[in-house]
């Protein structure tokens, strides 16, 4: 795992300590935000610290998080520093309420015991979650992560503070996404349908960010009203940007098989997945992510899964 930038250089613009009063598993909670091991906008270090470069409503920011003696220490550089530090509790699941979640299946029970500090994160940045999700539509993880990496290195700006010196990049702004030439998308491996969806999303960024204040069903409806965005893509946004613990990744190549193997010992399709997870409302994504964190289970009778795919079979 890559090491993080050197934090001993420029002093942070904002620093804060959050005392959550509960365990915090920073890598488990925030690993879902990282798009591959070489994501230019994120670094998870071997000792569990996170470096995150993002674009807030106030501008670019680098956020550094570490857990020390149960406290979360946050440092931030850039115009968005105050916004990012204020959002640390939500980013680490402060709004995620597991009340009423009482899994009966041993696999989910064990995952819950092993990861008491895991929560559903809430970044409150819809476009940031939507763009890479669109890029991941109908391609392998390897292809999607390569495209994301190339686009950020070509069009993202250097992250503020020490992260920039380490090569980290802030994702482009909405206006910058719309200005990327068609041939640059193609050279990154993103076809015209997906790049057009990203451009439409960027042009509707203000309206999409308003979904943060809507109930889950209404937020999904608003996000899916954008041509090229379907159930899978909307769910990928909702359980990252909105912190929605019920946003299941229906339409994913792997998720039904993973959960089916974990809960009933065999692979299922989307219909079977919906049936298995129905008793867990409003915590269906909670089950999905806990199973994913526990890792894959193999079936002796089922074919081996194709290791490179983790992407939706429909959008």
Asked, for residue 290, whether it belongs to a domain, the answer is: no
Quote the mean pLDDT of the chain.
92
Q: What's the sign of the alpha-carbon dihedral 76, 79, 85, 91?
A: negative
Q: Rounded distance, CA 255 to CA 284, Å?
A: 12
Indicate whether this model's pTM tops 0.85: yes
Q: Is residue 50 part of a domain?
A: no
Place of tokens 């090569």: 167
Flag whether 216 is in a domain: yes
Q: Which two tokens stand for residue 225?
A: 């009203």
In-domain check, residue 230: yes
- Structural domains counted in the chain: 1
Given the structure tokens 């989307």, which residue do they identify? 270
Domain that holds residue 231: 126-161+170-242
- Asked, for residue 188, whether it belongs to a domain, the answer is yes
The CATH number of residue 182's host domain is 1.10.340.30
Query: Which pLDDT score, from 0 to 100, does residue 206 have?
Result: 96
What confidence score (pLDDT) does residue 86 get? 98
Token readout for 80 is 């968005």
pLDDT digits (tens, 9 = 90+) for 211-248: 999 999 999 999 999 999 999 999 999 999 999 999 99
Q: What is the pLDDT of residue 104?
A: 85
The DSSP annotation for the chain comes to -PPPP-TTSSPPSEEEEE--SS---HHHHHGGG--STT-TTEEE-TTS-EEEEEEETTEEEEEEEEEETTEEEEEEESTTHHHHHHTHHHHTTTT---TT----SHHHHHHHHH-TT--------HHHHHHHHHHTTTS-HHHHHHHHHHHHHHHSEEPTTHHHHTT-EEPPPHHHHHTS-HHHHHHTT--HHHHHHHHHHHHTHHHHHGGGGS-HHHHHHHHHTSTT--HHHHHHHIIIII--TT---TTBSSHHHHHHHHHHSS---HHHHHHHHGGGTT-HHHHHHHHHHH-----SSSPPPPTT--SBS--
- Within 10 angstroms of residue 237's Cβ, the number of other Cβ atoms is 31
Residue 65 lies in a domain: no
Return the residue matching tokens 């290195």.
153
- Per-residue pLDDT of 242-288, as tens digits, reads 999 999 999 998 999 999 999 999 999 999 999 999 999 999 999 99
| Res 8: pLDDT | 60
**CA dihedral sign, ordered 81, 51, 90, 204:** positive
**Residue 235, domain member (yes or no):** yes
Q: What is the pLDDT of residues 1-40, one digit of tens each?
A: 346 776 666 899 999 999 999 999 999 999 999 999 899 9
Sign of CA dihedral 69, 75, 80, 82: positive
- 249 neighbors 288 (Cβ within 8 angstroms): yes
With respect to residue 135, please indicate whether it lies within any of the assigned structural domains.
yes
* Token pair of 287 as six digits: 């089950």
């Amino acid at each position: 795992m890559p090491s993080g930038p050197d934090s001993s250089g420029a002093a942070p613009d904002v620093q804060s300590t959050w005392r959550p009063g509960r365990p915090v598993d920073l890598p488990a909670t925030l690993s879902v935000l990282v798009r591959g091991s070489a994501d230019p906008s994120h670094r998870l270090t071997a000792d569990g610290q996170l470096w995150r470069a993002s674009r807030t409503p106030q501008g670019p920011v680098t956020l550094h998080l570490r857990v020390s003696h149960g406290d979360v220490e946050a440092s931030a550089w850039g115009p968005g520093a105050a916004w990012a530090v204020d959002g640390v509790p939500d980013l680490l699941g402060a709004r995620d309420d597991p009340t009423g979640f009482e899994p009966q299946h041993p696999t989910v029970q064990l995952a819950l015991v092993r990861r008491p500090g895991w929560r559903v994160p809430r970044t409150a940045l819809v476009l940031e979650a939507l763009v890479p999700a669109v890029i991941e539509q109908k391609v392998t993880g390897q292809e999607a992560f390569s495209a994301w990496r190339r686009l950020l290195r070509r069009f993202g700006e250097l992250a503020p503070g020490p992260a920039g010196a380490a090569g980290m990049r802030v994702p482009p702004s909405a206006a910058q996404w719309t200005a990327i030439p068609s041939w640059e998308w193609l050279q990154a491996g993103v076809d015209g349908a997906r790049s057009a969806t990203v451009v439409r999303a960027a042009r509707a960024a203000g309206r999409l960010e308003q979904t943060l204040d809507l109930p889950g069903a209404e937020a999904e409806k608003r996000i899916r009203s954008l041509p090229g965005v379907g159930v899978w893509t909307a769910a990928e946004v909702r359980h990252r940007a909105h912190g929605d613990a019920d946003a299941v990744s229906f339409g994913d190549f792997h998720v039904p098989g993973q959960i089916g193997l974990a809960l009933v010992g065999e692979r299922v399709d989307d219909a079977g997945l919906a049936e298995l997870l129905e008793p867990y409302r409003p915590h269906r994504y909670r089950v999905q992510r806990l199973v994913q964190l526990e890792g894959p289970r193999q079936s002796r009778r089922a074919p081996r899964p194709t290791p490179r795919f983790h992407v939706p079979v429909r959008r």
